[in-house]
């Protein structure tokens, strides 16, 4: 599966009040110099292993679900490369959905808004709502893997 996404810094003072949320912790088992990554994620009591290829706007991605026991066996390899955040889903115009991530721990204060699109033309014609700040889609510092390893 290919993902087409744009990412922004969000302004907490202007955004709508989110309703449901899910706690996420994720860590990176391996970060390849070609940009690909192997990520472990616990999300709402479910456990996933995800592989992503390199790239900014469009990346190849595959995910498998694993058990809690398997997760713990692999989680030890993510030490020093972890991120914790709360994710809110906020509906936008045009049937789009914003994934709003409020980070905690060492990244406390950072709030990002990410929107996934069905194709490149929808992505390019997207008009961000006013509470979206700076776009960081191509700013590699805001990739979660870099936030996990290097912080802000």
Examine residue 2 and tell whether it contacts a copy of itself (CB under 8 A): no
Rounded least distance, CB 73 to a copy of itself, Å: 4
* DSSP sequence for 62-110: EEEEE-HHHHHHHHGGGTT-EEEEEEEEEE-GGG-EEEEEEE-GGGTT-
> Could you say which of 53, 104, 122, 137 contacts a copy of itself (CB under 8 A)?
53
Contact between 5 and 116 (Cβ < 8 Å): yes
In the complex, least distance from residue 139 CB atom to a copy of itself, rounded to whole angstroms: 22
**Minimum distance from residue 50 beta carbon to a copy of itself (Å):** 10
* Residue 77 in the binding site for a copy of itself (CB under 8 A): yes
Angle subtended at Cα 44 by Cα 43 and Cα 49, rounded to the nearest 5 degrees: 30
Catalytic site includes residue 28: yes
Known catalytic residues are 28
């Amino acid at each position: 599966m290919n993902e087409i996404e744009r990412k922004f810094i969000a302004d907490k003072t202007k955004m709508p009040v989110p309703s449901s949320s899910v706690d996420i912790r994720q860590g990176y088992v391996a970060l390849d110099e070609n940009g690909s990554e192997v990520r472990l994620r616990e999300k709402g009591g479910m456990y996933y292993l995800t592989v992503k290829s390199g790239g900014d706007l469009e990346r190849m991605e595959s995910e498998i679900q694993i058990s809690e026991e398997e997760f713990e066996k692999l989680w030890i390899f993510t030490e020093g490369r972890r991120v914790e955040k709360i994710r809110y889903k906020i509906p936008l115009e045009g049937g789009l959905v914003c994934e709003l991530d409020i980070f905690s721990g060492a990244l406390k204060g950072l709030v990002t808004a990410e929107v996934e699109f069905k194709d490149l033309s929808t992505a390019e014609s997207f008009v961000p709502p006013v509470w979206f700040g700076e776009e960081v889609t191509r700013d590699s510092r805001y990739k979660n893997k870099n936030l996990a390893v290097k912080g802000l």
